Chain A
């Protein structure tokens, strides 16, 4: 009911190959997140799956059917766009009903489905308004409603939350996760925000320059990043990388240690440094430590009550069992 397979898919714009041959299988009912820095090809990949762009070579299969040359409307996929792409001159009701009307469904069934979707998304009171009269979060829900009513094999989300303010984004994130739990439909979600990826995904696909760097569950990526790129991309604040003699002690070219796996203290410790900026979040404090002789800055995540100030000389104790080792080519050493 929604297993999507990409087989040696490539995409070139003119002579520029943005997606080198790529294999990927998205299982039925899975919430898959494509994450990567901007320009990494994640949106292009989504548009290839949607059929809005033609693939240059390879094959896309949806439920074992070859969908490579099937037009977008016939693929049974629904997409939620970054700009929501609501039709501004139609009421919310007509917006949500549009795909059903195009499918020439009878009016009673259209009404039933639109009302059902409106109820699920708390839009019942707004059905007769225009998109221009709605807030950002409501527009987002209308866009999702328009996708739900089609009962698609899979939902495609193209950075749907990037136009919302921070508080609303957290709320919508929960709503989308909730929706996925209820519908149990395959969802593919594109974002550049690793927090969204970590919190929502069943499986994360990390992309860089059109290449899949790693595929795995959020915790797999966090615990065992396959290379330096994934290690640096997943987790916030970023993992600290240390090269040189300190890394050599661990038989590695580079070692990585997450800020939350370093303890700060005044007494004895493996490393020492001077506190630079301290970012107080209340629950946690992020210390940026300078003059460690290891890297330019080492970031440490400490409890919110730890009260070092700018300029304090402190010591650092990494949890040695949490050190990630990488070889000269950036790959993880098991």
Chain B
């Protein structure tokens, strides 16, 4: 890519992809921005003109807004905690030499290949069903009253389902990080008199710091937008209405495109705030 000719050829070759990406991202973004300043009710009169910041004010002052923010943060936080903690433990387990290592690793990664809708349905009907679910049978086997997971413990249920899906991702990233740890460092710590738990705390965990940040960053971006798991299980009831789901309801169930678009813009801002924080953390880690 050194000569003038090869550079312009490269630009020409990249142009279609750049144009496509720009169109793909900019058109919806601009349309969302435009709609958010309009009163637009497709089934009740269509485009009713500009309303300024009316939609933004209504979205935030609606009684559903703060519970939705809370639910979103609870789900993101819960899933992150579970995937990081169990991801580290699983990664250390898989790092040990054992029989059938290859097969076990593939099995661990498997949940990541299941579509969100399918996995949520499987969990809902096969595990968490209060009559026929595996958990119900388990509870009954111990003589306990089965929990109606999706109604009595709806938020934890969704956290469990989503965490199950994302655990393989975290495990995979952390496993590669653990494998890159210099064995001599652990041996040096052993000679220095550090018992296994302290070796984990002082050597392994700091080594994993960067990988954990990457896991948290990528997962947060995806988790802020989870939708299918809620749609096929609780439909946003029982306190599981996230910001994404609230926007969906405003646009499709209330047929209020303007209000939903304003919510969408809030979601963009929120995601960017999170991204800025995370980028700073990653940046700090990369410097060290």
A85/B288 contact (C-beta < 8 A), A52-B190, A72-B191 known: no
CA distance A72 to B188 in the complex (A): 10
Contact B191 A82 (CB under 8 A): no
Number of chain A residues whose Cβ lies closer than 8 Å to a Cβ of chain B: 27
Would you give the 0/1 interface string for A211-252, flagging 1 where the beta carbon is closer than 8 Å to chain B? 000000000000000000000000000000000000000000
Residue A73 contacts which of B185, B191, B203, B288 (CB distance < 8 angstroms)?
B191
Nearest-CB residue, chain A, relative to B198: A102
* Residue ID in chain A nearest B185 by CB atoms: A85
Q: How far does the alpha carbon of A104 sit from the alpha carbon of B125 in the complex, in Å?
A: 54
A86 to B188, CA, bound (A): 8
**Which residues from chain A contact B202 at a C-beta distance below 8 Å?**
87, 98
The dominant DSSP class at the A interface is loop
Q: A83-B184, A89-B209 are in contact. Are A52 and B189 (CB under 8 A)?
A: no
Chosen A-B contacts, 18 in total, with CB atoms closer than 8 Å, are A50-B191, A71-B190, A73-B192, A73-B194, A74-B193, A78-B191, A81-B184, A85-B182, A85-B188, A87-B203, A98-B189, A99-B191, A99-B192, A102-B193, A102-B194, A130-B288, A132-B288, A146-B192
Kindly list chain B residues whose C-beta atoms are within 8 Å of the C-beta of A78.
191
- Complex CA–CA separation, A7 to B119 (angstroms): 61
Interface string of A54-87 (1 = CB under 8 A from B): 0000000000000000011110011101110111
Check: B137 CB closer than 8 A to any chain A CB: no
B47 within 8 A of A: no
Task: Verify if B187 is at the interface (C-beta below 8 Å from A).
Answer: yes
Q: Is the CB of A89 within 8 A of B206?
A: yes
A103 beta carbon closer than 8 Å to chain B? yes
Cβ–Cβ contact B192 & A98, under 8 A: yes
Residues of chain A within 8 A (CB-CB) of B203 are: 87
Contacts of B206 in A (CB 8 A): 87, 89-90
Give A contacts to B, CB under 8 Å.
Answer: 50-52, 71-74, 77-79, 81-83, 85-90, 98-99, 102-103, 130, 132, 146, 150
Residues of B within 8 A of A52 (CB): 187, 190-191
Cβ–Cβ < 8 Å partners of A74 in chain B: 193
B91 CB to closest chain A CB, in angstroms?
Answer: 18
Report chain A residues within 8 Å CB of B105.
none
Q: How far is the CA of A168 from the CA of B147 in the complex (A)?
A: 69
Task: List the A side residues contacting B250 at CB < 8 Å.
Answer: none
Interface residues of B, dominant DSSP: helix
Nearest B residue to A81 by beta-carbon distance? B184
A73 touches B184 (CB 8 A): no
Given contacts A98-B202, A102-B193, A102-B194, contact A81 B207 (CB under 8 A): no
Counting from the closest, the 4 A-B pairs by CB-CB distance are A73-B193, A99-B192, A85-B188, A85-B184
The smallest C-beta distance from B266 to any residue of chain A, in angstroms, reads 38
With contacts A85-B182, A130-B288 taken as known, whether A72 is within 8 angstroms of B190 at the C-beta atoms is yes
| Mask of B172-196 contacts with A, CB within 8 angstroms, 1/0 | 0000000000101101111111100
- Complex alpha-carbon distance, A146 and B189, angstroms: 11
Instruction: Give chain A residues whose Cβ lies under 8 Å from the Cβ of B194.
Output: 73, 98, 102
Tell me the smallest distance from the CB of A187 to a CB of chain B, in Å.
15
Complex: chain B residue closest to A77, CB-CB: B191
Contacts of A71 in B (CB 8 A): 190
Cα A150 to Cα B188 in complex, Å, equals 13
Q: Which residues of A are found within 8 Å of B191, using beta-carbon distances? A: 50-52, 72-73, 77-79, 99
A99 adjacent to B193 (CB under 8 Å): yes
Contact yes or no, A89 B207, CB < 8 A: yes
19 additional A-B pairs beyond A83-B184, A89-B288, beta carbons within 8 Å, are A50-B191, A51-B191, A52-B190, A71-B190, A72-B187, A72-B190, A73-B191, A73-B193, A74-B193, A83-B182, A85-B184, A87-B202, A87-B206, A89-B209, A98-B202, A99-B191, A99-B192, A102-B192, A130-B288
Q: Is the CB–CB distance between B209 and A85 below 8 Å?
A: no
Q: How far is the CB of B133 from chain A (nearest CB, A)?
A: 45
The residue among B182, B192, B198, B209 with the most chain A CB atoms within 10 A of its own CB is B192
Determine the distance from Cα of A51 to Cα of B188 in the docked complex, in whole angstroms.
12
Contacts of B193 in A (CB 8 A): 73-74, 99, 102-103
A152 to B190, CA, bound (A): 15
Beta-carbon contact of A87 and B187 below 8 Å: no
State the Cβ distance, A103 to closest chain B Cβ, in Å. 6
